[in-house]
Amino acid sequence: FDVSCAPILAQQKRLQGIVVVFHDITELKKLEKMRKDFVANVSHELKTPVTSLIGFTETLLDGAMDDSELKTKFLNIILNESKRLQSLIQDLLELSKIEQEHFTIKWQSVSLKDIVEETLIILKEKANQKSIILEVLPSSNGLALGDPYRIQQMIINLVTNAIAYTPSGGHVWIQVKDKGNDYIELMVKDTGIGISEDQIPRIFERFYRVDKGRSRNQGGTGLGLAIVKHLVEAHNGRIDVSSEIGKGTTFAITFNKAKEKGDVIH
């Protein structure tokens, strides 16, 4: 609590009473702590790849360059760390854009199935590299109210995770399901490592990872689901997760239905 006092004075400045104001600053303190934690996390996340970039470059300059095998190995590490830095910066910029108060959705009525099919072209490649079968299950042609670019971003983040946290030879399915008069659902299901029940509420926090090492190996930034959560909220939608360790995970985003195709809602 923040406390301030003021005297109440009667005639001839005689003290008649005191006004004490208690100001509840719990929420403010919480916000301040979140801001500080975020800055600390960003600094740490940026520092790790930069340290390794400097280290490997110095080693190359100190003579490792003469060994052609070592040179290729170190240059590949430098390339991967640079890519990690690039993803992190991209995700940070994206999150900061989405979190701005005046961030708005460009409302349209869109076919989720069409967006899924367009997005799949980008994602198939990632799945193939890991020998994961990526399939669209029979889907509804129903229309959702939303921003196609943002919906594509949500699909990319969820499917990229599904591929990252599923061992080779596994399956990832996407499906659009009609949910009655008002809602339409986008589901992403995998046969991956799963998430324990106590971790599920935390995975949407910025930089939270169940397994840091595994996330880093997959090139994860720890921001993908935080971005998805914000985008779902901006769409007035909801996101549900169900998971079983060793069996797989299902994410489902519920959108509001749109009435007609193509119209832009202001």
Binding site for ligand ADP (CB under 6 A): 161-162, 164-165, 190, 192-193, 195, 203, 208-211, 215, 220-226, 249
Rounded Cα distance between 226 and 220, Å, is 12
The H or E element that residue 126 is part of is helix 112-129
Pick between residue 71 and residue 124 the one whose CB is nearest to ligand ADP: 124
Strands (E), 12-120: 15-23, 108-111
In the complex, least distance from residue 257 CB atom to ligand ADP, rounded to whole angstroms: 26
Pick between residue 222 and residue 237 the one whose CB is nearest to ligand ADP: 222
In the complex, least distance from residue 238 CB atom to ligand ADP, rounded to whole angstroms: 17
In the complex, least distance from residue 130 CB atom to ligand ADP, rounded to whole angstroms: 13
Residue-wise over 143-152: b if at least 16 C-beta within 10 A, else e?
Answer: bbbbbbebbb
DSSP letter at 137 equals P
In the complex, least distance from residue 259 CB atom to ligand ADP, rounded to whole angstroms: 33
**DSSP bridge partners of 190:** 172
Q: What is each CA distance from 164 to 12, 94, 127, 168, 219, in whole angstroms?
A: 77, 21, 9, 9, 9
Supply the DSSP string of 24-41, one letter for each residue. --HHHHHHHHHHHHHHHH
In the complex, least distance from residue 57 CB atom to ligand ADP, rounded to whole angstroms: 26
Question: 192 with 161: CB under 8 angstroms?
Answer: no
Pick between residue 143 and residue 203 the one whose CB is nearest to ligand ADP: 203
Pick between residue 132 and residue 143 the one whose CB is nearest to ligand ADP: 132
Pick between residue 83 and residue 106 the one whose CB is nearest to ligand ADP: 83
In the complex, least distance from residue 89 CB atom to ligand ADP, rounded to whole angstroms: 14
Pick between residue 146 and residue 220 the one whose CB is nearest to ligand ADP: 220
Q: Per the structure block, which two tokens stand in for 67?
A: 């060994």
Q: Per the structure block, which two tokens stand in for 182?
A: 């008002």
Pick between residue 64 and residue 120 the one whose CB is nearest to ligand ADP: 120
In the complex, least distance from residue 194 CB atom to ligand ADP, rounded to whole angstroms: 6
Sign of CA dihedral 43, 51, 207, 219: positive
Amino acid at 209: R
Question: 5 with 20: CB under 8 angstroms?
Answer: yes
